[in-house]
Amino acid sequence: MSQTKVVSSQWPQVETGRVVLINSGKDEGKLAAVVQIIDHKRALVDSPHIERQEISLSHVSLTQQVITKLPRAARSGVVKKYWAEASVDDKTASTTWAKKRASREKKRQLTDFERFKVMVLKKQVSIRDTLGRIFLKDVLPIPNRCGHSS
């Protein structure tokens, strides 16, 4: 008989304690932990930020974080305790994913005048870069394809 080797996946799996980001509904953008898996499409989630609820797995994004040792079907108080011990909010805020979401949200909140100011600043930076390249081209010799300077 041949031996088979079982290799774990690189993708995050739905499991008890997995931290998820809710993508739709009244709690959109909030974090929660999977407390119990109901079936292959639904899970029970809970966190200090939302009410305990059943949610479709198509409405959440799985994060890399897992609250280890979270008991299956844990009550809200237990979830809050493990949430604080794992410092989920601090760890999530330091991820590049959370920083991009915050940046996107900040950009979305800009007023018309603030968007105008950003546009003007981008143009100034572009002009400065172009002038810098022109200046450097005149001052520094640019090597041609053969490696000799012109």
How confident is residue 11, by pLDDT bands cut at 50, 70 and 90?
A: confident
Token pair of 41 as six digits: 């499409």
Taking the model in full, what pTM does it have? Answer: 0.69
| Domain at 18-94, CATH class | mainly beta
- Average pLDDT of the residues of the chain: 89
> Where do the domains of the chain lie?
18-94, 107-140
**What residues does 66 pair with on adjacent strands?**
18
Q: What is the 3-state secondary structure (H, E, C) of 51-113?
A: CCEEEEHHHEEEEEEECCCCCCCCCHHHHHHHHHHCCHHHHHHCCHHHHHHHHHHHHHCCCHH
Question: Tell me, what DSSP letter sits at residue 116?
Answer: H
pLDDT at 143: 61
How confident is residue 20, by pLDDT bands cut at 50, 70 and 90?
A: very high
Q: Which residue has the tokens 């022109």?
A: 134
pLDDT at residue 149 greater than cutoff 80: no
pLDDT at 75: 95
Q: Which of 2-6, 45-49, 77-81 has the lowest mean pLDDT?
A: 2-6
